[in-house]
């Protein structure tokens, strides 16, 4: 298999013919979030995160692992370029649930098509877009029962809002400044090693499903249909954790 064929097989798109269209881009993003787990297990194990494209490909595609935003969106950007898409990468601030302006520690991908720029992001374990969003101010965009819109801000650039329980809430923001591979090394190291990082404390694992998503937070396993919690297991054992990683989160056992 070629690299592209292997990647497409990894996201349940085996045999797909590459088309540089919004529809095909959406199939890639949806395939990624339902096939590749958001996970921080290497960080917890003290294994340094390697953000080089070939290392990401080896970990996520060849070895069947997942990763967090710097890894997942780094791989996505790399593979989209391999397919001939026009791609730039951006730093973003994750605003959901924040009361003050947070640091830039989120990685997103912008794909330019004939009809405009599209935000692609496969690096969020929470409720998040499964399909590309057109970067256009005040355009209401609905997908999978969720509603999003962009706002242009003089200070923070593009602010993406989502409609939640009858109210708009800020989700992420990013400017038009292009980010390069080297720019992500420092914030990724912060997430790996800093005492204030949320990523080095306990397992954070998630994957989207047709009905919603499945998560492991610490030792608690949950299944959601939309926002409704439909199943929970507390204090899961190591054996149960390994079983879930393989069966639900589509990760190979040789972590």
Query: Per the structure block, which two tokens stand in for 180?
Result: 């390069």
Torsion angle, alpha carbons of 164, 168, 169, 171, to 10: 90
Which whole-number Å values give the CA distances from 62 to 5, 33, 35, 41, 65, in the listed order? 12, 17, 14, 17, 8
User: Encoding tokens for residue 108?
Assistant: 């997103």
Cα 153 to Cα 137: distance, rounded to the nearest angstrom: 10
Contact by Cβ (8 Å): 151, 137: yes
Q: How far apart are CA 153 and CA 252, in angstroms?
A: 43
Closest CA to 241 of 209, 218, 211: 218
Both tokens assigned to 81: 């370029």
User: H helices within 138-199, ranges in order?
Assistant: 185-193
Q: Which residues are marked as active site?
A: 69, 106, 121
């Amino acid at each position: 298999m070629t690299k592209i064929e292997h990647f497409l097989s990894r996201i349940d798109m085996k045999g797909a013919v590459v088309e540089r269209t919004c529809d095909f881009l959406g199939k890639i993003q949806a395939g990624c979030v339902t096939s590749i787990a958001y996970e921080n297990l290497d960080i917890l194990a003290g294994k340094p995160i390697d953000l080089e494209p070939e290392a990401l490909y080896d970990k996520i595609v060849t070895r069947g692992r997942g990763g967090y935003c710097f890894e997942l969106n780094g791989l996505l950007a790399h593979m989209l370029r391999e397919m001939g898409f026009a791609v730039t990468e951006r730093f973003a601030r994750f605003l959901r649930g924040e009361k003050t302006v947070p640091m830039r520690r989120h990685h997103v991908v912008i794909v330019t098509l004939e009809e405009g720029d599209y935000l692609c992001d496969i690096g969020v374990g929470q409720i998040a877009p499964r399909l590309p969003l057109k970067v256009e101010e005040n355009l209401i965009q609905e997908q999978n029962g969720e509603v999003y819109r962009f706002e242009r801000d003089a200070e923070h650039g593009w602010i993406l809002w989502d409609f939640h329980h009858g109210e708009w809430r800020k989700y992420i923001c990013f400017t038009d400044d292009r980010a390069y591979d080297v720019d992500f090394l420092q914030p990724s190291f912060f997430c790996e090693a800093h005492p204030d990082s949320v990523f080095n404390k306990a397992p954070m694992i998630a994957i989207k499903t047709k009905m919603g998503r499945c998560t492991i937070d610490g030792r608690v396993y949950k299944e959601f249909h939309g926002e409704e919690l439909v199943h929970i297991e507390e204090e899961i054992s190591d054996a149960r954790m390994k079983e879930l990683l393989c069966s639900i989160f589509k990760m190979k056992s040789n972590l």
